[in-house]
Amino acid sequence: MSLPPIDTNPFVERRERLFDLMHALGGGIAILPTAPEIRRNRDNEYPYRHDSDFFYLSGFTEPEAWLVLIAGENNRSILYCRDKHLEREIWDGYRFGPEAAAEHFQFDEALPVEQLDQTLPELLQDQPILYAPLSEQDTLDQRLRQWLAAARQRSRAGFQTPARQLDLRVVLAEMRLIKDATEIDTMRQAAQISARAHVRAMRSARPGLREYQIEAELLHEFRRHGAQDVAYGSIVATGANACVLHYRAGNTQLRDGDLVLIDAGCELDSYAADITRTFPANGRYSGPQRALYDLTVAAEAAAIAVTRPGASWNAGHEAAVRVLAQGMIDEGLLQGSLDGIIESGAYSRFYMHRTGHWLGLDVHDVGDYREPPSLLQGTVAGSGPRPWRTLQPGMVLTIEPGIYVRPGDDVDERWWNIGIRTEDDALVTETGCELLTRGVPVDAGEIEAIMRDAPPLLTN
């Protein structure tokens, strides 16, 4: 990822915001490792993905790295990273090394990671608070204990060790919840690439192909436009598979008359997109499919309409549930009053998940869904659940209602194995929300037109 001009470096700005918060809490030292490399089998490792919090503050994507931030009279940012190693670079690729990393990513200091155990005990001395991702990695917890123990051995010389420990991930989750301009720009691009991939999948689909062939079209479009990876394992589910919420693309063949549900998004410069569309394998919805599809689109529209600053996080879910439940009554899937079905939760037989989640560096991004207690005031026990989070400009969330009808003795056969979901990524703006992912249509007629008018891309 190329860095913007120095005077607008978002990573430096984020570190400064964290320093400000640390000072407000009483100062201290923050210690954050990146993600470890993970063995896949024998001497083969999974493709490396850095830790999202670490990247958010550093922009650094190499493994075996640590970030240390000290909020003092003069704030200090220190990166520990792998040293230059020309022989290993022949095998594994370029390494910045401490000197180049300090200059490129604008750290006050950068040191070889081998010096971490030697220098951390001294850095911990006389710090009032330790911020770290507590209980996140066993190896981190063990090393923190070792560093603290080594620092305490100098207590007779008048040095103190941190009297308090705070979970750094809780602090960073609140920061990451509101996206800055750089993040929003990247997420727009990721959404556009992902939308193109969904259009390509629609154009490619036809009876006789298999789910993994459609998945290949998604991956082709992601990489063709510069995305480095998928944001999550792509769901390509046809027929009854669409009623399995976390289904992964398999080898099931698309059949004439079946629907295809695709839930897929790319990762661009570490940021995720997340789109779901459901379309007919043969290019035309049947009557029952169209009825439930239009119902799902109407539920999404109801949720979009209430997604705006000042609204409750739960407002979109409540709006979608109300539309879906009424539709289930109208189509004969459920009997009873609308309020009764909502109160009893009977609708959850056919709609069992919530209507969205936060989106950002992680596809299910960090951030509390209820109003958090103030870090400055501490946690105050309440008599009930905290109120739902109030939406603010800069938050990004998905809106994804669905309906999934499995066979049942009390369900008309015409509905059996129909699984439908529509999902878009919404940026909360000053006046409402901006849908980042409408580069792929959601209207049934427009989807049918794409499939009818464009020549198929795949050949046997």
Q: Which helix (H) or strand (E) holds 262?
A: strand 259-264
Q: In terms of DSSP H, where are the helices of 42-133?
A: 52-58, 86-92, 97-105, 116-124
Alpha carbon separation from 333 to 123, 243, 260, 290, 317 (Å, rounded): 64, 16, 22, 15, 20
Element (H, E) at 446: helix 444-453
In this structure, are residues 458 and 217 in contact, taking their beta carbons and an 8 Å threshold? yes
Structure tokens at 252: 């099931």
What stretches of 69-225 show up as alpha helix (H) in DSSP? 86-92, 97-105, 116-124, 138-152, 168-177, 181-204, 211-224
What's the first-to-final CA gap in the chain, in angstroms?
37
What span, in angstroms and rounded, lies between the C-alpha atoms of 40 and 310? Answer: 46
Residues marked as catalytic: 43, 246, 263, 274, 353, 357, 364, 400, 404, 421, 423
Q: Look up residue 261 and give its amino acid.
A: L
Q: For residue 80, which of 109, 38, 54 has the smallest C-alpha distance?
A: 109
Residue with tokens 């051995």: 153
What would you report as the CA-atom Rg of the chain, rounded to the nearest whole angstrom?
Answer: 25
Question: CA dist 382 to 372, 385, 410, Å?
Answer: 12, 7, 43
Which ranges of 270-314 would DSSP assign to H, the alpha helix?
A: 287-305
Count the alpha carbons within 13 Å of 397 in the hemisphere toward its beta carbon: 35
Do residues 124 and 148 touch, judged by C-beta distance below 8 A?
Answer: yes
